[in-house]
Structure 1
Amino acid sequence: MMDDDLDIRWKQRFQNFEKSLKLLEGALAVRSPDIYQRAGMIQFFETTFELSWKMMKDYFEAEGFSDVKSPRAAIKQGFESGLLQEGHAWMELLKDRNLTAHTYDEETAEKVEKLIEGKYIPIIRDLHETFKKLNDA
């Protein structure tokens, strides 16, 4: 694949990440969500995370890295390269995303909702700002 294609791929992924983040933010704006609204918010969270690590993977491939094949590897490389400031928080986000992907109960959903609002949305927004600057450069 040509380098231009790799460069375009992360930019396309960024556009999808940005749309997903807006949907997640909209879902988080719902006060006292019911079980269906909370499930939707968690789905937006999962999608936004998937797009975030794949966007980083695509970016690193465009930069010449070939060993970023998993969410954990993307987070590690993102932290090492300075794209991510909160490496430990991203690893916790990965752990909680894996939990929500394989288990659904209301208690877990409420716990994850609070984590998304208080801890994870700020670091996802930071990543968005970082990639927005890269995309605009």
Structure 2
Amino acid sequence: MKTLPVTCEKCFLDFQESLDELQDLIRLGKQHGMDEKSQKRIIRSFEVTHELALKTIGEYFKKMGRPAFSGPRDATIEAFNEDLIDDGKGWLDMIIDRIKYDPRYAEVHEKELSKNIIHKYLLLFNNFERNMKENLG
């Protein structure tokens, strides 16, 4: 069975769906209390959303005829240079937070990461969504 090529628009749609899910999980966590289970769900959803954002960025530049990136840091820097993201440092902090987070030792970083997702990274994702809509529009 053949698989269809992934397009930038499809990646962006997947990102938007994941972002909606992340926002729902955050809203539920705020309404019912942010217990450890809620934090884990938010972190998992955040990781998927971040991966889909990076994939969207990669496909966007591929569509423009640009070469593939060697990693998330390079993609993030280029996306900042091209105004796809507003806060390059914030996005690099996301990468660092994901590297520091280890599910085997979740309690060490889980609370801080979930707080950053809610108070910093959600806004960065929303800004990225707005910028991508304008660029794909």
Q: TM-score range by the shorter chain?
A: 0.7 to 0.9
Q: Counterpart in 1 of 2:16? A: 18
Structure 1 segments of 4+ aligned residues over 4 angstroms from their partners: none
Aligned amino acid, residue 24 of structure 2: G
Aligned amino acid, residue 50 of structure 1: E
Q: With structure 2 as the length reference, what TM-score do the two structures score?
A: 0.87
3-state SS in 2 of match to 1:105:
helix
Tell me the percent identity.
24
Q: Counterpart in 2 of 1:28? A: 26
Residues 95-134 of structure 1 correspond to what in structure 2 (within 5 A)? 95-101=96-102, 103-134=104-135
Contact 1:54/1:71 (CA < 8 Å) preserved in 2? no
The C-alpha deviation readout for 1:2-60, integer Å capped at 9, x for no partner, is: xxx97x61100001000000111111112222222211110000000000011000000
Q: Following the alignment from structure 2 to structure 1, what is the Cα–Cα distance between the partners of residues 56 and 127? A: 14
Q: How many residue pairs end up in the alignment?
A: 131
Contact 1:42/1:100 (CA < 8 Å) preserved in 2? no
3-state SS in 1 of match to 2:117:
helix
Q: Following the alignment from structure 1 to structure 2, what is the Cα–Cα distance between the partners of residues 102 and 59? A: 31
Q: With structure 1 as the length reference, what TM-score do the two structures score?
A: 0.87
Q: Following the alignment from structure 1 to structure 2, what is the Cα–Cα distance between the partners of residues 14 and 25? A: 16
Q: What is the Cα-based RMSD across aligned positions, in Å?
A: 1.8
Q: CA deviation at 1:116?
A: 0.9
